[in-house]
Structure formats: C-alpha cells, structure tokens
Chains A and B, each alone.
Chain A
Amino acid sequence: MERVLIGNRITAAVIPVSFAILGVLIANVPVSVLGGIAPAPLLGLMPLYFWCLVRPDLMPPFWALVIGVLEDLLSGGPPGVWAVAFVATYALLDQQRDMFAGLSGFGAMMGFATAAAFSCATAYLVVTVYYWRIPPLAPVMGELAMSVIFYLPVVMFLGFVHRRFVGPMRSDF
C-alpha cells in the first residue's frame, strides 16, 4: 500500500516537468507542418504556467530555468533568451499567483495570454539588447497568437492529466 503511495507521489512529481520538457521538444521539432506560415507555439510555457498556478510545489522556479535553457538549445536562437523570459514570467506568476489562479473560462485564457505576452516581450527585449538592433515584431506576435490559440486544447489535456495522475489542486490545500 505504502509502495503504491510512493509510486504515485513520484509520478505526480515527475509529470509536470516531463510535460514541460515534452512541450519544448514538440514545439522545436524542425518540421514545418504549416509550411512555415506560422511559428510554433510556446508549448513549454503552457505546463510551466499551468502547474506554477495549480501546484507550484511540483514546478519550482529551477525548472523554469531548465525549460528555458532547453528551449534556447533547441530553437537555435541566442542562448539564454528564453531562460530569462521563462524565469521572469515565473517571477510574475509567483507575485500574482492568487490573481492568475482565480481566473476561469475566458479569463483564464486572458491570464495565459498575459503571461505569454510578458514572456515574449522579455525575450524580445533581450534579443534587442543582444543584437543591438530592433527585430521585427510580427514573428513574436505570431508566436504569441499561436500560443494563445493552442492553450485551450493543451490546458484541457493538462487538466485531465493532473486530475487523473497528479492529485489535488492548490485550492484543495
């Protein structure tokens, strides 16, 4: 019985980070499904956002850095850009957790849109300083739009996984 409980606890601890890493891997598979028309969504940010609000004890800030570094490594962009963006977004969520976690329905979508916009804006700022020139805004806006569009199906899936395998929500404590 106790062994089963330990197994469940390990599964619950591993799932959030695994899904974030899986999201980064899927988003950065260099296969252009849409013929290069639209950029890939920030699939790594979605589990980070979700579990940062739902169960922050399973998604500590260290993983924001790791997921960001992985995103940098696989996306091919300048190193550290998404690491800074994800850690900054985590800091924002950490500060305003009650506000973000209290949103539901369309408000929850807007909450994620705000977090993703903050993340993209941070990345844009870092790239501007990195290259010391202003990059075009349209590709970043495209990535933000794709992330918000994809958030709804992804968060439904994450919610199902959480209820089925991880356990109680933050509000249950």
Chain B
Amino acid sequence: MANGMRRGNRLRGGYQLPLAVLFVLAVALVLIGKAQSTLFDRARARVTDWMAPELAWGHRPFDAVSSWWANVGEGYNVYQENVRLKEENARLRQWQTVAVMLDARVKRYQLLLHAVPQAALSSTLAHVIGRAKRPFLETMILDAGKANGVKPGQAVIDMRGMIGRIFLAGEHTSWVILLSDLNSRIPVTIEPGHAQAILTGDNAKAPALETLAQGVVVHPGDQVVSSGDGGILPPGLPVGTVILDNNALRVALLADPASSQDVEIVDFKNSIETPPTPTKNDLPVSAAGLPPATPPPPVTTNVQTPAPAPAAPPAIKPAVKPTPQTQAPDNPSADPDDQ
C-alpha cells in the first residue's frame, strides 16, 4: 500500500528535493564555468579532436553540395558577371600599379628614418570541417590545432577578409569565434580618417561599430580594417565596409564564413623593439669632441696572481688644470706608509 503511494507520488511529481539539488548544481556549473572556463574548453577541445576525422568525412558531401549549388546560382548570369569582372580587373590593375609605387616609397622612407620594421606574419592553412549556428554561439571548426602552431587569439582570414579569431585550440582542431558572434569584440580602424572603434558582434549578420570617439565622422562606404591595438591581431587586415542600418553604424563583412572552405590562421609575432647598438660616435663624450673612455680590464678571480692594479683614471684631459693641493696621487690605492 505504502509502496503503491510512493510510486504514485513519483509519477505525479515527487522530485522536488532532487530537482532543487540539481538546480543548485546546474547554477554552480554556470558559476564555475564563469570563473574557470578552461576546464570546459579543454573538454570541448578533446571532444572535437576525437571527432575530427568523422567531422571532416561528414562535411565533405555538404561542401560538394554547397559548391555545386553556388555554381548553379552563378550559371544564370555568367555573361554579366564576366563583363563586370573584366571592368573590375582593369580598375584593380591601375590600383595595383599605384600600390606598388606607394609600397616602394614607404620602404624608402622607412629606410631613411630607421623605422622599426613591421612584425613578421606567417600563416597556417586550414580546412573548415564544421560549422555551428547556435543561439548563443556562431562558430566554425578548423582542422589545424596546437600541433600546427595554432594558438587562441590568432586571426582567421579567407581570401576576402577577416572571418574571426581562434578561441579554443585543441591538438589537431580549433574553434573560431566569428566576427558576428555575440562574444566577439575587436579593435578596428576606419579609413579614411584613421578613426578608432570597437567592432562588436551581436549575432546579426553585420556587426556593430561601438566606442567611436566624439567628433569622428564616419560615412557609409568607409573601409574597416583591424587596428592591431593590443598586439594580438595584426594591423591592416581587411574587415568590411561601413553601412548604415536603422541609424546605427554597422559593418558589412567582406568575408563570408558560411561559404569559406579554406582559411588562413595568421600568426602575428609582435617583435619586441630593440634599440640600435650604440657606436662610438653616438657616445656623448665623442659628440663633445673628446676621446672615448677606455673600458676597464676584466676582473680575474685567480688568487695566485698578484692583485691587479686599479683601473687607470679616464684618459680625458680635464678642462681645468688641477692645483697642487687638489691634485690626485698617481696611485690612489697605495698605502701612505709605504711612501
């Protein structure tokens, strides 16, 4: 009888206490995740590494279908597209000539000014093996990880522009946080005008421009590139074009993460600036027309050898000849009793 009642309770909602405990556990999980997100990230990276071959295999038919679909769509307007591309190509060739000339001029100026050379950029080519669009995360998974030198924070670009950055690197796979994702914030520069801003993703297709300085005027059509502030992302990566959406400034991204198959992970090494080695001519005494100081002899620790003579005074002729009262002895370390 009692057993029957217990069973009835269980079936009609007798889980209040376990549910309360489980709810507390789940909330604790959120708090732990907030404080120690690496635990969860490591588990995710392991799972993705483990699933990588199956993901790559499973993604292949979808790649084929999507590229076939794209070709079908473009097949209808091949002629117009061809004419447009020829015009664009001619225009770009002119710009290429200008760019080459300007690049040579900038290099010459840098040489003249002894400017610090730009940081070295290297990149890792990776294939997209997964894409996920969830309410609170838009991501793609790449088939390159720590084994290929991939580190969290590195920029991911396709042939058109920046897609996002690595936020989780496993051994052989990595997760990319897209620029449009809710959690994405990168410093950008808007050209012309060199205005600084933060590009903030909010899961919309075009991320928003925030924290623009007061008085800065930005027009739709202006170009947005990464600013390189913070030293994590390289400066000058093309990001997109400014658009006006409901009186808010947003950026139409150049890259299309939904169709990118192969991407580059940019390894940006922000080298530490080393000052140039001073030459004799750079010393202040030399600049003043005086002979440079001779370096002191090296100190030996061998007790067998007699104590070295004290360092000779600098062979700089004083400007004022000392008087006999103030003249220093020839051997200042010599005991006065020996004289």
Q: Are B15 and A94 neighbours in the complex by a CB distance under 8 Å?
A: yes
Q: Which of A36, A69, A74 contacts B29 (CB 8 A)?
A: A69
Contact B203 A60 (CB under 8 A): no
State whether the Cβ of B287 lies closer than 8 Å to any Cβ in chain A: no
* B183 adjacent to A76 (CB under 8 Å): no
**Pair A136/B33 contact, Cβ less than 8 Å:** no
**Contact (Cβ within 8 A) B62 A32:** yes
Residue A88 CB within 8 A of the other chain:
yes
Instruction: Indicate if B311 sits at the interface (CB-CB under 8 A).
Output: no
Give the chain B neighbours of A91 by CB distance below 8 A. Answer: 15, 19, 23
B59 to A, closest residue via Cβ:
A31
State whether A78 touches B19 (Cβ < 8 A): no
A interface footprint on B18-31 (CB within 8 Å = 1, 0 otherwise): 11001101111111
**A56-95: which have CB < 8 Å to B?**
56-57, 60-62, 64-65, 68-69, 72-81, 83-84, 87-88, 90-91, 94-95
- Asked if B58 lies at the interface with its beta carbon under 8 angstroms from chain A, I say yes
Q: Count A-B pairs with CB separation below 8 Å.
A: 161
User: What residues of chain A lie closer than 8 Å to B25, measured between beta carbons?
Assistant: 65, 83
Which residues of A lie under 8 Å from residue B135 when comparing CB positions? 39, 77, 120, 123-124, 135, 139-140, 142-143
Instruction: Evaluate contact between B29 and A76: CB separation under 8 angstroms.
Output: no
Q: Please tell me if the beta carbons of A136 and B131 are within 8 angstroms of each other in the complex.
A: no
Q: Is the CB of B62 within 8 A of A79?
A: no
Q: Cβ of B90 < 8 Å from any Cβ of A?
A: no
Question: Do B10 and A57 touch across chains, with their CB atoms under 8 A apart?
Answer: yes
Task: Indicate whether A10 reaches chain B with its CB closer than 8 angstroms.
Answer: no
Partner of B136, one of A36, A78, A87, A94: A78
Q: Does A160 have its Cβ within 8 Å of any Cβ on chain B? A: no
Instruction: Check if A33 sits within 8 Å of B137, measured CB to CB.
Output: no
For residue A63, which residue of chain B has the nearest CB? Answer: B22
Contact of B19 among A31, A87, A123 (CB under 8 A): A87
Q: Of the candidates A73, A75, A81, which one forms a contact with B132 in the assembled complex, judged by CB atoms under 8 Å apart?
A: A75
Residue of B nearest to A55 (CB): B11
Chain B residue at smallest Cβ distance from A144? B135
| A173 & B11 in contact (Cβ 8 Å cutoff) | yes
What's the nearest-Cβ distance from chain A to residue B121, in Å? Answer: 28
Size bin of chain A's contact surface? 35 or more
B257: chain A residues within 8 A (beta carbon): 36
Which of B40-48, B152-160, B191-199, B229-237 has 4 or more CB atoms under 8 Å from chain A? B40-48
The answer to whether A79 touches B23 (Cβ under 8 A) is: no
Q: Is the CB of B139 within 8 A of A30?
A: yes
Chain A residues near B204 (CB-CB < 8 A): 136
Complex Cα spacing A55 to B11, Å: 8
Q: How far is the CB of B238 from chain A (nearest CB, A)?
A: 22
A32 adjacent to B34 (CB under 8 Å): no
Among A36, A57, A131, A170, contact of B182 (Cβ-Cβ < 8 Å): A131
**A130: interface (CB < 8 Å):** yes
Most chain A beta carbons < 10 A, residue from B26, B135, B139: B135
Chain B residue numbers with a CB within 8 Å of A142 are 135
A31 close to B130 (CB less than 8 A): yes
- Contact status of A90 and B19, CB under 8 A, knowing A32-B258, A57-B10, A136-B204: yes
Q: Is A126 in the interface zone, CB < 8 Å from B?
A: yes
Q: Is the CB of A81 within 8 A of B141?
A: no
Q: Are B11 and A32 in contact (CB under 8 A)?
A: no
B264 within 8 A of partner (CB): no
Q: Mark A18-61, 1 if CB is under 8 A from B, else 0.
A: 00000000001111110110111000000000000000110011
Residues of A bordering B, CB below 8 Å: 28-33, 35-36, 38-40, 56-57, 60-62, 64-65, 68-69, 72-81, 83-84, 87-88, 90-91, 94-95, 97-98, 120, 123-124, 126-127, 130-131, 135-136, 138-140, 142-143, 170, 173
Subset of 27 A-B contacts with CB under 8 Å: A29-B58, A31-B59, A31-B130, A32-B132, A33-B62, A35-B66, A36-B133, A40-B133, A64-B22, A73-B47, A75-B137, A76-B175, A77-B136, A79-B37, A80-B32, A84-B30, A87-B22, A94-B13, A97-B12, A120-B135, A123-B135, A127-B136, A135-B202, A135-B203, A139-B203, A142-B135, A173-B7
With A73-B47, A135-B202 given, can you name 13 additional A-B contacts, CB distance below 8 Å?
A29-B55, A36-B133, A39-B135, A40-B133, A56-B10, A79-B29, A79-B37, A87-B22, A95-B13, A131-B182, A135-B203, A136-B204, A139-B135
